[in-house]
Structure formats: structure tokens, C-alpha cells
Amino acid sequence: MENQELLQQVIERAKVWLSEIYDENTRKEVQRLLDNEDKSELIDSFYKELEFGTGGLRGIMGVGLNRMNIYTVGAATQGLCNYLKKNFAGLPEIKVAIGHDCRNNSRLFAESSAKIFTANGIRVFLFDDLRPTPELSFAIRELHCQSGIILTASHNPKEYNGYKAYWDDGSQVVAPHDVNIIEEVKKVKAEDIKFDGPDELITILGDEMDRKFLARVKTVSISPDIVEKYKDLRIVYTPIHGTGVKLIPAALRAFGFTNIYNVPEQDVVSGDFPTVVSPNPEEAAAMEMAIKKAVRVNADVVMASDPDADRIGVAVKNDKGEYIIINGNQTALLFIYYIITKMKEAGAMKGNEYIVKTIVTTELIAEIAKQNDVEYFDVYTGFKFIAEVIRELEGKKKYIGGGEESFGFMPADFVRDKDAVSSCALMAEIAAWAKSQGKTLYEMLQDIYLEYGYSKEKMKYVVRKGKSGADEILQIMAKFRSNPPKSLGGSPLETVKDYLSRVEKNLISGEEKTVGQKSTSNVLQFFTQDGTKISIRPSGTEPKIKFYFEVKGQLGSRAQFDEAEQKAETKIDAIMDELGL
């Protein structure tokens, strides 16, 4: 009965999309779904509205309330317009910047949004073609815009697209604007969307903004003398069909590097991502072609960016001569270690520097900060929270770097989001620095572990699609919340942090206190007495629940690294079994 009621609700919602408000192609596709005997696609398309969350929209492209199309994108843009006009009512002109990635329909969604903004009297700066997310963030600040959007689904599969909204500091929107925009978007009906604004209010952005952006990227370099000495460092880079294709090689050249190898098949800009199943540099298959190229040219470092060029993937040669992908925690470790070490060497530390990491990212970053008297902050997953810290401390303290385990790093605050453009250039510089000491990046990473302590991280996710999957993810969280494990990996559980209730409980003493975050989030963390950390959270952008593991180990020399890795891997596997994964 319950399923029949849901189906009837879905049919009624779908029939609304047969009205003349919607274009002919949309109406035809909705009718096809209604006529299909298998109603699963119809249900998935209409059982709920695609939620404009605190990061914007992300979903599968297609017709329907729960899909990315010109009407769901249009409602988001109209709602954003309505909020901007309320919030900035005193300004003579409201300005927004618009960017997009390589995905199918991204240009259509960007141009449709531009016309909606101008129909609401808002001036638009629209990039002439695809551009990296960090450049959109930079342009908002450079042009003194009040807001901006980028059409991208980041590293999601090709069926997806997305819409991220930014505020006047170049960061994705945070409280109170995020929830206020959501409320405005919820009020918008299809007939309220103003689709046909004047072109006169649209300014096209091109090479001039690229040059300004790259000039700022060049300032990220800490050791130009080392780059000059090792400018022929062998670098392999792939954009995996995305927006990094033009600007990341340009950024590497701006730093001074001359020996950059590309992967021609993956320089082809395509929303179909023809050479990969998933355009995600976190996955080994996405970097396979670049690594094969690295073997042929004996590369010092291999780098990749995802479709909107905010994430960086890095592969390095290990002690056996094999190229391996280092994880996002290790990438962040290399960045933070390099920045702090070189700044200290140069006497550039003034005592007011700080770094930021997310709560699921390795605790070793915090250890590096502590031992070097650098302040650090823990925030929720998402660079908007890193940017929020920067905004609060602007003019008071100096941001020198921040990152998260999911292959994102931001080395400078002229961008307020993950920045693979600056990060790729800086990672090449770190490889040059390692080479100047007779080391590989792999050996440098081992030396960081020797100096600051060894840990190993791993992430596992469970995919649960559709309405039933979303319900199951909530049930999994509820189960761990109500019945946490007594021990993990042979060590008793010591602390539980529940960021939904904002309560941190010490299970040994019974003491409870408030976790150090201003807002709530559906995240659970378990800490054992031996220093193991497990974090559990549903993804905010994909139909997944994610489990993050970090275990500590002993490392006395580089020669013991493989043994330490194996022991840690075995321990993580055992913990996964205990958790039923």
C-alpha cells in the first residue's frame, strides 16, 4: 500500500511536467517515463526534489524534480537571485561570476543561469569556456562580486552534474547565507523562473582573467631558486578530460618547469570521460594512463586533476621503482611539511601563522603543527569550512595552508576553495626540493613519518542508491550511534564524538563535553586507547556512506616502512571486519 501511495504521488508530480511551462523535449521524456511499465526510473526522478543543500545541487542529469536539468538549475538560480536582491538591496549593482567544467550540459546550465541572473537585474561575468573551480573563486574576489556559481559535479561519474554557489569572499556559502538561500530556493516554482534576461548585462571573461590568476598562482612558489636548478624535473600531468588542461601546464611553466609530459588521449575535453570509468584521481584506474607515461619517461612525479581541477592526485616512485598513488592525507602531509619547513628556514615565521584541516584528515598534520608552534584548526569536511576560518581570522593571523584527505589542498588564500592549479605547481616544487637533497618524494614522506610518527589511513565507502539506499544509510548511522563498538583492533574504545548532538564522551571517565564545532553534522568518530581513529559520515554529494580509518604504528627506519605498512593494513582490515564492512 505504501509503495502504491508513493507511485501515485510520483505520477501526480510527473504530470505537472507535461504542462506548457516545460519545453517540448522535457514533456516528451516525462511522458516516456510515465508510459514505461517499469516505474523505477520515474520514481527516482520524481520521488523527491533535488535538494539545494548547503553546497548547492548535485545529481544525475535528466528530467524530473530529483534530476539536474534547466528547471532545477533554474529554480536554484532564481532562489539565489531573490536572496541576493534582499541581502544586497543597498548596492547600486549586484555582480556574480559564472564558471563551468567539461561535463555534458555544463555550458547549457551556465548560459541558462546567466540569463536568469540578468533577467533579475544582476550583472554577470561569464567565462568564455570551461575553467577550473579555483579560478572561479579567484574571479569572484578579483571582480568584487557578491556571489558566483560553477556548474560541476567534481569527480562524480559522467551521468552527474552539479551547481555550487559562492559568496563574496570566493568561498562556497556558509551560515547564515546557506540556509537562507535554501529557503528562497524552496519557494520557487517553475513559473517563477525568469529565463530570458538581456545579454547586455553579461561580460565574457577570457585570457585576461587567466593571466591575472596565473600571476597569483606564481606567488605560491617558496623556493624559486630550487625550481631554477631543477627546472628539467620530469613531470607527467593529466587533466582527465577536464578543466586543468590549459591552466595547470601553464602554472607549471610559470613556476619555471620546462619538462612537462602530457597524456594526449586525456587532454581531450569531454563530459563522457572516454578513457576512464570515473574521472576521480583518488581511484587508481583514473591515473593508469599517466603512470604508464611516467614509466616510459622515467618521471619524477605524476599528477592529475579531476574535471573541475580542484582535486590533485599524485603518484610517486617507491623504493622498488614502481609508481604508486599516495593518498590525500599523504599529499597534505607533504604540503604542510614543506611550507612550514621552508618558511622556518627563511625566517619568515612571525608567530601568527595557522593551518586548517578537516576532522577526518590525518592527525599527523596536527602533530607537525604542534611541534613547530603553528596553530591549527579542525573543521568539518568541505573547503567552505576552511574558508570560513580564514574569513574570521582575516587581518589577524596568517593562513599558510589547509587540506583534507579527499585529495584537496589550498596553499594560499587568494582562492577560497580546493585548488589543484596552485597545488600541482607547488607539488612539483616539493619534488624538486626533494631531488635537491638526493631524495624522492616517497623517501621524503618516509622521513616525515620518522620525524613525526607513523600512521596509515584508509577510506572505504558503501554505495546505496535511490530512496531505499538513502534510508539504509540513515539506518547505518543510527545503528552505530545507538550501539558503538566496545573495542576496535584489540584496543578499547576511549572516546566517541557525535557531531550531530555535538557531544564528546570519554567512555573511561564518563566525562562529556561539547565538540569544538559551531554547527552540527551527521558524523561519528571513535577513538581507541592506542590512538586509532574511525570516522563515519554519509557523503553530502554522492549516494555513499564513508568510513575513514587511521591507525598508528612504529617506524624506526626507512627499511622498516613496508613492515609498518603491512601491520597497519592488517589492523585496518580487522577493524573493517569488526564493523561488518
pTM to 2 decimals?
0.94
Q: Say what the pLDDT of residue 579 is.
A: 93
* CATH 3.40.120.10 location in the chain: 48-205, 213-452
Instruction: Tell whether the model's pLDDT for residue 265 goes beyond 50.
Output: yes
Do residues 387 and 393 touch, judged by C-beta distance below 8 A?
no
pLDDT tens, 307-326? 999 999 999 999 999 999 99
Band (465; pLDDT cuts 50, 70, 90) = confident
Do residues 196 and 112 touch, judged by C-beta distance below 8 A?
no
State the average pLDDT over residues 51-76. 92
Cell 613492515 locates to 563
Cell 622521513 locates to 447
Band (3; pLDDT cuts 50, 70, 90) = confident
Give CATH for domain 213-452.
3.40.120.10
State the average pLDDT over residues 325-337. 97
Provide the 10 A C-beta neighbour count for residue 563.
13
Helix 441-452, helix 328-345: angle, nearest 10: 80
* CATH 3.30.310.50 location in the chain: 455-578
pLDDT tens, 18-27? 999 999 999 9
Instruction: Tell whether the model's pLDDT for residue 276 goes beyond 50.
Output: yes
State the average pLDDT over residues 93-97. 98
Instruction: Return d(Cα 465, Cα 129) in angstroms, integer.
Output: 33
Question: Of 269, 227, 247, 263, whose CA–CA distance to 101 is shortest?
Answer: 269
The residues that bridge with 549 in the sheet, in sequence order, are 458, 534
Band (1; pLDDT cuts 50, 70, 90) = very low
Show the DSSP H helices in 346-382 as ranges. Answer: 364-371
pLDDT tens, 410-433? 999 999 999 999 999 999 999 999
State the average pLDDT over residues 91-95. 97
Provide the 10 A C-beta neighbour count for residue 576.
17
Band (541; pLDDT cuts 50, 70, 90) = low
Choice among 45, 113, 154, 455 that is catalytic: 154
Give CATH for domain 48-205.
3.40.120.10
The cell numbers describing 121, all together, are 537585474
pLDDT tens, 350-405? 999 999 999 999 999 999 999 999 999 999 999 999 999 999 999 999 999 999 99
Instruction: Tell whether the model's pLDDT for residue 192 goes beyond 90.
Output: yes
Do residues 534 and 525 touch, judged by C-beta distance below 8 A?
yes
Superfamily of 455-578 according to CATH = Alpha-D-phosphohexomutase, C-terminal domain (3.30.310.50)
Query: Residue 266 CA to chain centroid, in angstroms?
Result: 21
State the average pLDDT over residues 329-356. 96
Return the percentage of the chain with pLDDT > 90, whole number.
91
Q: Say what the pLDDT of residue 4 is.
A: 83
Q: Say what the pLDDT of residue 17 is.
A: 97
Instruction: Tell whether the model's pLDDT for residue 221 goes beyond 50.
Output: yes
Band (498; pLDDT cuts 50, 70, 90) = very high
Q: Say what the pLDDT of residue 542 is.
A: 72
Catalytic: 521? no
Q: Say what the pLDDT of residue 250 is.
A: 98
Instruction: Return d(Cα 45, Cα 367) in angstroms, integer.
Output: 47
The cell numbers describing 68, all together, are 539536474
Instruction: Tell whether the model's pLDDT for residue 56 goes beyond 90.
Output: no
Q: Say what the pLDDT of residue 539 is.
A: 83
Instruction: Tell whether the model's pLDDT for residue 525 goes beyond 90.
Output: yes
The cell numbers describing 456, all together, are 596509515
Rounded-to-10 torsion of CA 226, 227, 228, 233: 120
Instruction: Tell whether the model's pLDDT for residue 486 goes beyond 70.
Output: yes
Instruction: Give the CA diameter of the chain.
Output: 73
Instruction: Return d(Cα 364, Cα 403) in angstroms, integer.
Output: 13
Instruction: Tell whether the model's pLDDT for residue 174 goes beyond 70.
Output: yes
What is the helix (H) or strand (E) element at residue 280, kind and residue range?
Answer: none
Cell 613525526 locates to 452
State the average pLDDT over residues 121-150. 98
